[in-house]
């Protein structure tokens, strides 16, 4: 018996391999500690909105849904610091503070993620080359550990635990709350410059040349283009629009945006819905729709969260789901990107969205993902022998000194993981110290050998 729970089929956003998980959902902060000390489940993992694509927040023995712990505690308009419980979503933060001129200093491509999830994957956004990851703006967090202690962690105190928790995919404990630095913005709009690049080399050159002048930069890549158009892309550079950039209607209310009506995808589309022809058609349309234009005013929702207007868009890939593959390679190994794109193009595995970005410097998070290099993220529908195909890609990535992102990964092998994350042993040491019995665990943790050493040795 123990705390109230129910069994739910949970997977990541890619919808591959759902597992029946015993799921708890504390409604009040006070209900949290009893759940985490309930002896019935052997292991537990916190879960936010399940926007990680793989199995980071999946654990049959016990999952704790944190989304009801979403009280905001205080906001100081002078310092811009918000203190809130970890289940607050980025959408809620925008809704509450954009009208007062504050925005998230770092945001991923969806606003349906929790603060806890954003910290646990140390997420990055289109401004990584300037501003780094989410954790740079986390001033402090409260961590409920395996020994039922609540630790205050920050870059100043319990710093080692802080940097293990940031990007630590929930394995150091449960983040109860955090203090986050918000950023003042001049409006709710972004001024975007579009630049078409005929192939990958042109795109990389353009990023290198222009990124420095803009806080936001990302390129959309046509993965189906081949030969000398391989990697043709539309580069999008943006900055927050000043009131003078806006038209009259927008300038009157610079922080008010009519958010797009949300379209649900009510059921799984048939598996053939997204095939190489339909995606090719879309990609051609997209490329041709964006000639080089400057100062295009776009609201924050369309710029940062283009997919959020279609709820549950992941159902478009049909019942078998899909894999989101994100690889980063060091600047000097950009040739690896060409290989990756060639492999995808040759396999005709349609990728609706492929996104390319140049990352800035690596942060101090032990398992934090981004490092200086190029990152490419794409969707691969789950059909045919996907495992073998992914293994081939993994090898290419490793051979070029690259690595995969845990927020996206569902298939990587333990060997690839260990080879690609150089600070893993530091993380393990802290995990062992904080959680010697391996109370916090997930399907991903077991797959990658990230539980306690004892278990890890047996694989």
Partner 1 sequence: MADHNNLSRKAAVILGGASAVARYLALEFAKDGYDLVLADFDRDENERIAADIRTRTGRRCVPMFFDALAFDTHEGFVRECESVLGQAPEGVVLCFGFMPEQLAAQADFSLARRSIDTNFTGAVSILERYAAIFEARRHGFIAAISSVAGDRGRKANYLYGAAKGGLTRYLEGLRNRLHAAKVAVITIKPGFMDTKMTYGMPLPAPLVATPPQAARVMYAAIRKRKNNVHVLWFWRFIMIIIRHIPEWQFKKMSV
Ligand X SMILES: Cc1cc2nc3c(=O)[nH]c(=O)nc-3n(C[C@H](O)[C@H](O)[C@H](O)COP(=O)(O)OP(=O)(O)OC[C@H]3O[C@@H](n4cnc5c(N)ncnc54)[C@H](O)[C@@H]3O)c2cc1C
Applying CB under 6 A, which residues contact ligand X?
A: 13, 45-52, 56-57, 66, 86, 108-110, 113-114, 116-118, 120-121, 123-125, 169-170, 174-175, 307, 407
C-alpha to C-alpha distance for 83 and 91, rounded to whole angstroms? 15
In 3-state terms, what secondary structure has residue 332?
helix
Q: What does 453 interact with, of partner 1, ligand X, none (CB < 5 to 8 A by kind)?
A: none
Q: How far is the CB of 186 from ligand X (least distance, A)?
A: 23
In whole angstroms, how close is the CB of 202 to ligand X at the nearest point? Answer: 23
132 binds, among partner 1, ligand X, none (CB under 5 to 8 A by kind): none
- Residue 145 binding: pick among ligand X, partner 1, none (C-beta 5-8 Å cut-off by kind): none
> Beta partners for 288?
none
Q: What is residue 450's three-state secondary structure?
A: coil
196 binds partner 1 (CB under 8 A): no
Residues making up the chain, counted from first to last: 459
Token readout for 303 is 């710029």
In the range 78-117, which residues lie near partner 1 by CB under 8 A? 82, 84, 92, 95-96, 100
Q: Two tokens at 210?
A: 């222009």
- According to DSSP, the β-strands at 183-184 and 373-381 are unpaired
SS3 367: coil
Using CB under 8 A, pick the residue from 73, 262, 295, 454 that binds partner 1.
Answer: 73
List the single partner that 382 binds among partner 1, ligand X, none, CB under 5 to 8 Å by kind. none
Which partner from the list ligand X, partner 1, none does 175 bind, CB cut-off 5 to 8 Å by kind? ligand X
139 sits near partner 1 (criterion: CB under 8 A): no
Can you spell out the DSSP letters for 239-291?
Answer: EEPPGGGS-HHHHHSTT---PPPPEE--SPPPTTSS-HHHHHHHHHHHHHH--
Conformational region of residue 148, where left means phi above 0, alpha means psi within -120 to 50, and beta covers everything else? left
**Of the ranges 70-78, 223-231, 417-425, 450-458, which one interacts with partner 1 (CB under 8 A)?**
70-78
Nearer to partner 1, 84 or 397 (CB): 84
Minimum separation from the CB atom of position 153 to partner 1 (A):
21
Q: Which does 68 bind (CB under 5 to 8 A by kind): ligand X, partner 1, none?
A: partner 1
Query: What 3-state class would DSSP assign to 20?
Result: strand
Both structure tokens of 278:
């339909």
For 17, the token pair is: 């391999």
The angle at the Cα of 288, spanning 283 to 290, to the nearest 5 degrees, equals: 100
Alpha carbon distance 137, 119 (integer Å): 10
What CA–CA distance (Å, rounded) separates 370 from 171? 19
Rounded to a whole number of angstroms, the minimum distance from the CB of residue 82 to partner 1 is 8
In the set 71, 184, 319, 395, which binds partner 1 (CB under 8 A)?
Answer: 71
CB within 8 Å of 351: residues ≥ 6 apart: 223, 224, 279, 344, 378, 379, 380
- 47 makes contact, choosing from ligand X, partner 1, none, with CB < 5 to 8 Å by partner type, with ligand X
What is d(CA 84, CA 74) in angstroms, rounded to the nearest whole number?
A: 7
Ordered strands of the 138-144 beta sheet: 72-76, 81-85, 174-181, 138-144, 150-153
Minimum gap (Å) between residue 109 Cβ and partner 1: 24
With CB under 5 to 8 Å by kind, the binding choice for 174 among partner 1, ligand X, none is: ligand X
Q: How far is the CB of 82 from ligand X (least distance, A)?
A: 16
Q: How far is the CB of 13 from partner 1 (least distance, A)?
A: 19
Long-range contacts formed by 259-262: CB under 8 A, 24+ apart:
259/301, 260/301, 260/302, 260/309, 261/309, 262/308, 262/309, 262/310, 262/311
**Residue 340 binding target from partner 1, ligand X, none, CB below 5 to 8 Å by type:** none
Nearer to ligand X, 65 or 245 (CB): 65
State how far the Cα of 288 lies from the Cα of 98, in Å rounded to an integer. Answer: 33
Stretch that binds partner 1, among 67-75, 105-113, 183-191, 410-418 (CB under 8 A): 67-75
Taking the complex as a whole, the smallest distance from the CB of residue 27 to partner 1 amounts, in Å, to 5
Applying CB under 8 A, does 305 fall inside the site for partner 1? no
Residue 75 in the binding site for partner 1 (CB under 8 A): yes
Which helix (H) or strand (E) element contains residue 205? helix 200-210
Tell me how far, at minimum, the Cβ of 124 lies from ligand X, in Å.
5
**Per-residue binding letters, 10-39, with partner 1 (x by CB under 8 A):** ---------------x-xxxx---------
Tell me if 264 contacts partner 1 by CB under 8 A.
no
- CA 19, CA 45: separation in Å to the nearest integer? 14
Which two three-digit tokens encode residue 288? 């041709």
437 is an interface residue for partner 1 by CB under 8 A: no
Pick between residue 27 and residue 294 the one whose CB is nearest to partner 1. Answer: 27
Tell me the closest approach of the beta carbon of residue 12 to ligand X, in angstroms.
Answer: 7
Q: Which residues in this chain contact partner 1 in the complex, by CB under 8 A?
A: 4-6, 25, 27-30, 68, 71-75, 82, 84, 92, 95-96, 100
């Amino acid at each position: 018996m123990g705390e109230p729970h129910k069994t739910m089929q949970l997977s990541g956003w890619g919808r591959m391999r759902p597992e029946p998980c015993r799921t708890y959902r504390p409604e009040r902060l006070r209900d949290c500690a009893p759940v985490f000390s309930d002896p019935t489940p052997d292991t537990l993992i916190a879960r936010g909105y399940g926007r990680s694509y793989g199995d980071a927040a999946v654990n049959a023995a016990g999952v704790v849904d944190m989304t009801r712990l979403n009280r905001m505690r205080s906001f100081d308009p002078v310092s811009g610091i918000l203190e809130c419980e970890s289940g607050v979503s980025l959408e809620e933060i925008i809704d509450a503070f954009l009208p007062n001129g504050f925005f998230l200093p770092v945001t991923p491509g969806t606003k349906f993620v929790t603060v806890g999830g954003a910290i646990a994957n140390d997420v990055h956004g289109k401004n990584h080359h300037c501003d780094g990851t989410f954790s740079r703006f986390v001033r402090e967090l409260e961590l409920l550990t395996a020994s039922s202690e609540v630790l205050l962690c920050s870059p100043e105190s319990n710093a080692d635990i802080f940097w293990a928790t940031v990007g630590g995919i929930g394995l150091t404990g449960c983040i109860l709350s955090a203090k986050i630095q918000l950023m003042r913005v001049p409006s709710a709009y972004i001024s975007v410059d579009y630049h078409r690049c005929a192939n990958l080399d042109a795109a990389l050159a353009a990023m290198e040349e222009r990124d420095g002048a803009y806080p936001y930069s990302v390129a959309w890549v046509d993965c189906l283009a081949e030969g000398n158009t391989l990697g043709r892309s539309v580069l999008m550079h943006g900055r927050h629009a000043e009131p003078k950039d806006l038209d009259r209607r927008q300038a009157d209310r610079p922080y008010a945006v009519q958010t797009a009506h949300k379209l649900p995808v009510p059921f799984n589309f048939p598996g053939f819905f997204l095939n190489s022809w339909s995606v090719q058609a879309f990609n051609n349309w997209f490329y041709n729709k964006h000639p080089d234009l400057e100062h295009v005013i776009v609201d924050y929702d369309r710029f940062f969260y283009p997919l959020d207007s279609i709820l549950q868009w992941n159902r478009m890939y049909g019942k078998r789901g899909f894999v989101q593959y994100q690889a980063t390679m060091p600047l000097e190994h950009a040739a690896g990107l060409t290989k990756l794109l060639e492999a995808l193009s040759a396999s005709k595995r349609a990728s609706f969205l492929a996104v390319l970005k140049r990352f800035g410097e690596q942060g101090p998070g032990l398992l934090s993902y981004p490092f200086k290099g190029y990152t490419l993220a794409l969707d691969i529908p789950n059909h045919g022998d996907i495992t073998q195909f992914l293994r081939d890609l993994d090898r290419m990535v490793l051979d070029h000194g690259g690595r995969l992102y845990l927020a996206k990964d569902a298939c990587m092998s333990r060997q690839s993981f260990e080879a690609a994350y150089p600070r893993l042993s530091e993380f393990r040491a802290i995990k062992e110290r904080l959680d010697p019995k391996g109370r916090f665990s997930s399907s991903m943790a077991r797959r990658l050998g990230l539980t306690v050493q004892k278990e890890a040795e047996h694989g």
